[in-house]
Structure 1
């Protein structure tokens, strides 16, 4: 028996204000939000994109965030993308620029404090592999 391929259907987030958080992520990804009651669905912006679903908070937020999004941009465009996201009111957290030869990234937080990273990978001939 072979296992069918698994793909990511959507990233689900609880939010104090689902509509506002969906608008932020719509600006990040270029997708168009689709509200539905108290929740908002954000479809993939195109092939290779990802969907997100925002729903009202149902309980207290954990003290430690167990996972986060890693967004990848073309080599050499990370800083410009970070500046664009900061203009959308993301907040800067930290950079990791020379810890690993195969990636450098900036960690940001969205309007509700959810961490996410913007990463770039150098071309293979610059990775020293």
Structure 2
């Protein structure tokens, strides 16, 4: 599953979203700002990649490690381009993980008065709620 319960401050690029995640939609609250061109997201249910894995298809698609693992129990083709996949060729993407960790976010409880803002890799007081 992708990273949840985060409210993004910057609008991320679509390449950072997982196309397989199931579950709750994000509450996305974008504040228009310039975003570096190398930020990545995964697109279907708007959950940012968690433990991103590149699957080694012609398009080098990326998915959450757990999402593609669950998907492979049903099919051995890329969910997007339908190319046959070899799980032994999958590679984690540390570069993408670092870019995701740099996304600016606000506390999911900002409407309740929390003013915390930071980067996704930071911890904040409301994490365990």
Question: Which of the two has higher C-alpha Rg?
Answer: 1
**What TM-score range do you get, normalising by the shorter chain?**
under 0.3
Which fold has the larger relative contact order, with Cα–Cα distance below 8 Å and residues 6 or more apart in sequence? 2
TM-score by length of 2: 0.26
